[in-house]
């Protein structure tokens, strides 16, 4: 476990999956991150790579060969190396290896940096294609869960969900675990909505941001404390909590990719919203978490 700190925040990250383990506001030591529970959701903030969401029948084909892969990819269950560390920042790295190539036939480097800047945690991803001749096809996502509510005196239903901008937003649903982007619709977010477990009875609320600046806030209306997750150039943001296995948490999920489409043919070359990185190239992605 690696811990980084400044005078505002203390953040712990596990080498297993480079997953956030704790986000505490100082000096009162308030824990903002969901701590996991076998009764609802055991994870806390998994990294989603090289897939976001579920593949049809947990498999895909690439260049005529079939590969098997569970939901959200394998990075969340791999041990990352620590490549750089200071009091306020740390960088983790995962490279392809014999095990990854059995389920994902690509060379890659996934670098994840966590950095504290005043009262915010900035998360940066650097994806590198080290291959000399093969284009890297991948998706990437974050899945941090936050305690909802933060105080013992409040309830899940006391938490308000709001967006920036506060306007009518584009959405699409999941049909089962698969995306139905062919049938988008609008969700009115001019006013905050109150958290309710039934909001998630059809899985995640998925906003399509069109890569515009976007933020989701969770605010405990009794204490006015909460968390803000901000993104730039991020095509999708999911808001999710477990259902019907209820838990006192809500995830705010920046996604650079999405689950297989309802009508997906299973070919990686045709998969919706995948990124393509030419040989010897790299790309960066980021988002921020601000407890308040």
How confident is the model at residue 141, as a pLDDT? 99
How confident is the model at residue 234, as a pLDDT? 97
How confident is the model at residue 75, as a pLDDT? 98
For the chain, list residues with pLDDT below 70: none
Q: Furthest-apart CA pair in the chain: how many Å? A: 58
How confident is the model at residue 26, as a pLDDT? 95
How confident is the model at residue 51, as a pLDDT? 98
For the entire predicted model, the pTM comes to 0.96
How confident is the model at residue 72, as a pLDDT? 97
Closest listed residue to residue 80, CA positions, set 130, 17, 124: 17
CA distance 30 to 42: 20
Total domains in the chain come to: 1
Domain of 145: which CATH number?
2.70.98.10
Render the burial of 25-62: b for 16+ CB within 10 Å, e for the rest.
beeeeeebbbebeeebbeebbbbbbbbbbbbbeeebeb
Phi and psi at residue 23, in whole multiples of 5°? -130, 105
Domain extent at residue 278: 2-291
């Amino acid at each position: 476990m690696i811990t980084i700190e400044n005078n505002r925040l203390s953040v712990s990250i596990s080498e297993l999956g480079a997953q956030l383990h704790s986000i505490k506001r100082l000096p009162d030591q308030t824990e903002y991150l969901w701590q996991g529970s076998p009764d609802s959701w055991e994870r806390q903030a998994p990294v989603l790579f090289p897939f976001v969401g579920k593949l049809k029948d947990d498999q895909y084909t690439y260049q005529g060969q079939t590969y098997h892969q569970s939901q959200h990819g394998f990075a969340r269950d791999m041990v990352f190396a620590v490549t750089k560390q200071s009091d306020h920042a740390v960088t983790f790295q995962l490279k392809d290896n014999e095990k990854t190539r059995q389920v994902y036939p690509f060379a890659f480097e996934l670098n994840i940096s966590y950095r504290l800047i005043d009262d915010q945690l900035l998360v940066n991803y650097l994806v590198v294609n080290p291959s000399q001749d093969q284009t890297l096809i991948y998706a990437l996502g974050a899945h941090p869960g936050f305690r909802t509510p933060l105080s013992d005196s409040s309830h899940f239903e006391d938490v308000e969900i709001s967006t920036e901008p506060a306007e009518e937003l584009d959405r699409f649903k999941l049909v089962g675990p698969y995306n139905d982007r062919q049938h988008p619709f609008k969700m009115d977010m001019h006013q905050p909505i109150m958290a309710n477990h039934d909001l998630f009875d059809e899985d995640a609320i998925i906003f399509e941001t069109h890569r515009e600046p976007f933020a989701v806030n969770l605010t405990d209306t009794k204490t006015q404390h909460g968390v803000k997750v901000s993104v730039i150039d991020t095509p999708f943001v999911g808001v999710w909590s477990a259902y019907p296995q209820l838990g006192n948490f809500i995830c705010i999920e920046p996604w650079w990719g999405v689950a297989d489409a309802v009508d997906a043919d299973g070919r990686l070359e045709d998969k919706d919203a995948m990124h393509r990185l030419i040989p010897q190239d790299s790309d960066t992605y980021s988002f921020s978490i601000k407890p308040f």
